[in-house]
């Protein structure tokens, strides 16, 4: 495993629509491992391949239970993810991004979603997510389409030193 460099704006890869994953071989498995290590080292709760200058539709997300802080975190690896269902209910929340350092913004997202994709071995998987987990998935999938959270809000600011914001 190796840490990868997280790119920041205005790097052009962050604004491109990423390519579908077709090969789940050894190089792909190494990429997944590197992304997980990079996300944890950052530290972040999610990372999309374009954030490490790889134009592939691949995300990793690691998040625990909102209700139980002592519950173990769950790791999700999704290739070619797509949101197949989304609640009508929208919720505002504060987001940060490893590729947009030192800024946060208030973004409206769907309260719950269903995501379909392929796991790290190329097998179909479906995830129903709500709350912060749903927000993280929406944020990461946006990266695959060249969208960054400031594109979805007019409210962006530099957080106070003691303000804790989960970063993707």
Active site residues: 140
Largest distance between two CA atoms of the chain: 43
Q: What are phi and psi of 91, to 5 degrees?
A: -135, 135
What the block records as the tokens of 99 is: 């590729």
Closest CA to 46 of 57, 35, 61, 32: 61
Residues in the chain: 168
- With vertex at residue 125, the alpha carbon angle to CA 79 and CA 14, rounded to the nearest 5 degrees, is 25
Eight-state DSSP code of residue 44? -
Q: Tokens 């994709």 belong to which residue?
A: 117
DSSP H or E segment with residue 102: strand 100-110
Q: Beta 100-110 vs 90-97: how paired, if at all?
A: antiparallel
């Amino acid at each position: 495993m190796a840490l990868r460099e997280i790119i920041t704006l205005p790097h052009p890869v962050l604004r491109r629509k990423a390519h579908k994953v077709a090969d789940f071989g050894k190089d792909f498995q190494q990429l997944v491992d590197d992304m997980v290590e990079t996300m944890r080292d950052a530290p972040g709760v999610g990372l999309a391949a374009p954030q490490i200058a790889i134009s592939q539709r691949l995300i990793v997300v690691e998040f625990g239970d909102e209700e139980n802080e002592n519950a173990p975190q769950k790791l999700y690896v999704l290739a070619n993810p797509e949101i197949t269902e989304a609640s009508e209910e929208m919720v505002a929340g504060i987001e940060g991004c490893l590729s947009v350092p030192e800024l946060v913004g208030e973004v409206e997202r769907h309260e719950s979603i269903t995501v379909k994709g392929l796991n790290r071995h190329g097998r179909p998987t479906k995830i129903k997510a709500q709350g912060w987990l749903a927000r993280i998935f929406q944020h990461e999938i946006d990266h695959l389409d060249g969208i960054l959270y400031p594109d979805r809000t007019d409210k962006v600011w530099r957080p106070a030193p003691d303000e804790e914001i989960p970063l993707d």
